[in-house]
Structure 1
Amino acid sequence: MRRAEGTRGRILDRLRRAGGFVSGAELGREAGISRPAVWKHVEALRAQGYVVRARPRVGYRLVSSPDLLTPERVSPHLHSTLIGGCMVHFDSVVSTNDEARRLADQGATEGTIVVAERQEAGRGRLGRSWVSPPGGVYFSILLRPNLAPVQLSMITLAAAVAVAEGIRQQTGLETRIKWPNDVLLEGRKLVGILTEMAAEADSIRFVVIGIGVNANVDLSAYPVEAREGIASLLAVLGRPVDRPALLAAILNELDSSYRSLREGQFDSILDRWRSLSSTIGSRVRVTTVTETVTGLAMGVDDDGALRVLADDGTERLFHTGEVQHLRQA
């Protein structure tokens, strides 16, 4: 477990910016530590997969960085004001949402991020499991919004918008959002989002948003029967993406969207979501725990609920449910 703070991160940042050798004395002076302490931090970076070359009486040079979502790799790309101020990294964890909830109960600060290279039992919406093959971007964000529980859906919509816009910035790919928060690429699921809440009767204690992006994922890692409906950036682009830069881009966008929510600018979030929606204007089948309704998706209301003109002529409003897009008759 590593946090995006401290001496090691400053040493890594200095080596990265230098592009060449930096003396141990200079690194120590800038970090406020001794040369032997610099050596210990360099050895720790090597243990994490960084290739650092040392030359006697010259110093250290960063040769290459590992493809890991460590705070040291992500932080240089971040310019957020709240989200990502504290980042906790795991090589493997049962579920990033479970870990974020545990930290929330311990008083972790708003904006804390939990990121993992692998999840042993990731969760999706409606109790489904979320397969987490190597190469994905799996993380959870802890928020403590001053919102009513009925406004939780706005956070979910904001997260979907942030993910779509972060992916576009890093890859140029245009994704679409299936209500409420599945991000699709070429009609296939690229991103899953799970929002969980701890609340009192009329206030939210905290919210955890879990996000899984099929970034550098080989689709052969999925069961054969699931591959047709799944997309990955690697498969579409034909090349791997910079995962730390992608994660940072999403966090930067979410920081901006969350700031809008905190300031009551719900309309701006809804407008952005509507512009990215693949559901509005589509024939859909909505399944809830009590019923299944087929009709035309008309839009979303001011709370993010889905409006459907049902085939029986009635207009229905759904706050939760599973949506399937149908072929136009």
Structure 2
Amino acid sequence: MPGGADMGYCRILNGKGNRRIKQYVEMGGRYLGLCAGGYYGCAKCEFEVGVKGMEVIGERELAFFPGMCKGLAFPGFVYHSEAGMRAAELKVATKQLTDVEAAVPERLKAYYNGGGFFVDAMKYADKGVEILATYEDQVATADEQKSNKAAIVYCKVGEGSVILTGPHPEFSGTNLNRDEPTGPQGYDKLVDALVEDEQYRILFMTACLRKLGLDIRAETQHSVPSLSGLHLTASQPIVVSELLQSWQEAGLIADNVIKGENDTFLIGSALQSDAFDLGRVKAAVATASDPVGGLEPEDPPKTLMAHETSLPQSKDTPNFDHHAFYTHLRNYHSQQKESEATFGKILIYGEVVTSTSTMLEKNPTWLAEVPNGLTATATTQLAGRGRGTNVWVSPPGSLMFSTVMRHSLALSTSAPVVFVQYLAALAIVAGIQTYDKGYARLPVRLKWPNDIYALDPTRPASENAYVKIGGILVNSSYAGGDYTLIVGVGLNVLNAAPTTSLAQLAAKAALPAPSLERLLASILANFEGLYLRFCRTGFDTVFEQSYYRSWLHSEQIVTLETQGGVKARIKGISTDWGLLVAEELGFGDRETGKRWELQSDSNSFDFFRGLVRRKI
């Protein structure tokens, strides 16, 4: 449960929500409450008592910690500001963390901004409370300093475990701007102190998470990898030269630099290792116009290596075989009834990127000159994106890509742009099923509107236990008579965690694990074939039947939260605007004749609870 302000949590979760959280923990779940999430996990919260406009006093329903969390621990807090920030020195109760198989520091500095302390925590030892860390400095609002300095506590709750914090031991000082204008005097030195203790912070957080009972694997205990260079390739290398020429003519490239609204790209040539005249590059970056939302000073330019004569060798891109990808792409394109061999023809690959979708979307001037079908892919994403504000790290073993599409406004009636997300879902299923012989048997399904699910191979088939293995995000903009779409896809191909993967499904079917390069080629070829037919026929009966064969919801009975909790049966999606169609059920589950058509942007489908709810 993150930081912020816990009153918002109360408004949304009081009652049923908190009962479910508490039941989850008591039955063996884990709860990690950070700052506001720490206040929220206590029986009582007191915050800035007597301060007008800031005071919060009240009981809290979760009550994992049976006492009170009181704040501020240190003065100066201002909402949406760094004014009250400090590098709080913590003394760690190493004896409480000795059985977690990790080295634990005796002291560390942690980011603090508005958190509390846990009053008289030691008095609740007989109720399963342990103090994991205390504040070394004097706590502002404590009456008895010796007993009131608990900064982080562990609580045993039923079969589950809880850790509540006042500071933010999960937060890395490397994320802070030393020149933050709202920070206190000496803010830069506070940031430096946090960065200096970064390894201690990681060790402590690892110990805390293991204390909760979580599996912290050795390979995850390293800092976030640095961003890598990008490789621009094409099925025919001459296409790369032609593309660079078109960007030059459009005024995008100046002194081997593309200055986008969000990123700066340094164009390099694979023909020469000293492709950059660094003096000219620095000058170009310094003199380029600074657009709204432009490059932050601390963001390094991205290298875009253009391969104009040949594809990268394995030593250049050890985690992605370009030769295999383009070979499979040609083969799969040739199998399509309708194909222009455009999707995937041009590829941008990076071993480590922030987000393939963000890289394209946040640089609209460059995006306007990117050809239809260009695809960006990566081995690791540090800020993968989903619906709403969902963001996550996507590790190696996942297939992550974003494809640029141009969809004509003239097709708005016959082939509405909203159906592209459904075509992408169909393409993923088709790309898997036509990957190779035997793959058509893999139990992969679609959850409305944009998720990919698979039958969990570790559980009995009779349970019909489907788990998420992928998702789709389509972002669109409009200019010059065309929609520009960025279709982003994330698919777990090789990783058993956190749910399952295609490799596990294949193993259960006695099939070899799929390769990322070949699967990407298969999905792109199927996507283009489906899209070209869609432009010609619209979302016709053939598309409908194909979609319903793969989705999870046919005739499913659900509760419509947006309609006051009425009971309804899912009938399909409308063929005009792709809305979810549901018909009301009355007594004895008889249809009443009342029908709803629900938008995906406003609703989310909780498949396992049979609930169509408002998207928050």
* TM-score grouping bracket, smaller chain normalisation: 0.7 to 0.9
TM-score, normalised to structure 2, is 0.40
1:4·1:86 contact (CA, 8 Å) conserved in 2? Answer: yes
Query: What RMSD, in angstroms, separates the aligned Cα atoms of the two structures?
Result: 3.0
Per-residue CA deviations over 1:169-211 (Å, capped at 9, x if unaligned) read 22331311111221111111122001111126x9543011100
Query: 3-state DSSP class of the match of 2:372?
Result: coil
1:282·1:326 contact (CA, 8 Å) conserved in 2? Answer: no
Per-residue CA deviations over 1:12-71 (Å, capped at 9, x if unaligned) read xxxxxxxxxxxxxxxxxxxxx9xxxxxxx999625225xxxxxxxxxxxxxxxx442x54
1:283·1:327 contact (CA, 8 Å) conserved in 2? Answer: no
After superposition, the Cα gap between the structure-2 partners of 1:111 and 1:294, relative to the gap in structure 1 and judged at 3 Å, is: farther
Per-residue CA deviations over 1:79-128 (Å, capped at 9, x if unaligned) read 34221121110111111111222566311011110101111111111322
1:77 pairs with 2:328: yes
1:285·1:292 contact (CA, 8 Å) conserved in 2? Answer: yes
Which residue of 1 is the match for residue 595 of structure 2?
Answer: 315
Structure 1: stretches of 5+ with no match in the other structure: 10-32, 34-40, 50-65, 220-226
Higher relative CO (CA 8 A, sep ≥ 6), structure 1 or 2? 1
**AA paired with 1:148?**
S
Following the alignment from structure 1 to structure 2, what is the Cα–Cα distance between the partners of residues 291 and 95? 38
Identity of aligned residues (%): 23
After superposition, the Cα gap between the structure-2 partners of 1:203 and 1:244, relative to the gap in structure 1 and judged at 3 Å, is: same
1:280 pairs with 2:554: yes
Per-residue CA deviations over 1:111-150 (Å, capped at 9, x if unaligned) read 1101011111111113222441211100001001114399
After superposition, the Cα gap between the structure-2 partners of 1:154 and 1:249, relative to the gap in structure 1 and judged at 3 Å, is: same
2:311·2:323 contact (CA, 8 Å) conserved in 1? Answer: no
Structure 2: stretches of 5+ with no match in the other structure: 1-229, 240-270, 272-308, 334-340, 456-465, 587-591, 611-616
1:148 pairs with 2:412: yes
Which residue of 2 is the match for residue 271 of structure 1?
Answer: 545
Per-residue CA deviations over 1:142-171 (Å, capped at 9, x if unaligned) read 001114399232101000000011111223
TM-score, normalised to structure 1, is 0.73
2:445·2:453 contact (CA, 8 Å) conserved in 1? Answer: yes
Query: 3-state DSSP class of the match of 2:394?
Result: coil
After superposition, the Cα gap between the structure-2 partners of 1:253 and 1:42, relative to the gap in structure 1 and judged at 3 Å, is: closer
Which residue of 1 is the match for residue 580 of structure 2?
Answer: 306
2:319·2:351 contact (CA, 8 Å) conserved in 1? Answer: no
**AA paired with 2:327?**
P
Following the alignment from structure 1 to structure 2, what is the Cα–Cα distance between the partners of residues 77 and 103? 30
Task: Say how many residue pairs are matched.
Answer: 270
Deviation at residue 3 of structure 1 after TM alignment: 2.5
Which residue of 2 is the match for residue 199 of structure 1?
Answer: 478
Deviation at residue 311 of structure 1 after TM alignment: 4.4
Which residue of 1 is the match for residue 453 of structure 2?
Answer: 184
Following the alignment from structure 1 to structure 2, what is the Cα–Cα distance between the partners of residues 326 and 43? 46
Following the alignment from structure 1 to structure 2, what is the Cα–Cα distance between the partners of residues 218 and 133? 12
2:451·2:468 contact (CA, 8 Å) conserved in 1? Answer: yes
2:357·2:402 contact (CA, 8 Å) conserved in 1? Answer: yes
Following the alignment from structure 1 to structure 2, what is the Cα–Cα distance between the partners of residues 195 and 283? 28
**AA paired with 2:328?**
H
Deviation at residue 309 of structure 1 after TM alignment: 1.7
Which residue of 2 is the match for residue 99 of structure 1?
Answer: 359
Deviation at residue 293 of structure 1 after TM alignment: 5.8
Following the alignment from structure 1 to structure 2, what is the Cα–Cα distance between the partners of residues 145 and 43? 30
1:195·1:210 contact (CA, 8 Å) conserved in 2? Answer: yes
Which residue of 1 is the match for residue 534 of structure 2?
Answer: 261
Query: 3-state DSSP class of the match of 2:554?
Result: coil
Which residue of 1 is the match for residue 233 of structure 2?
Answer: 4
**AA paired with 1:126?**
G
Following the alignment from structure 1 to structure 2, what is the Cα–Cα distance between the partners of residues 82 and 7? 14
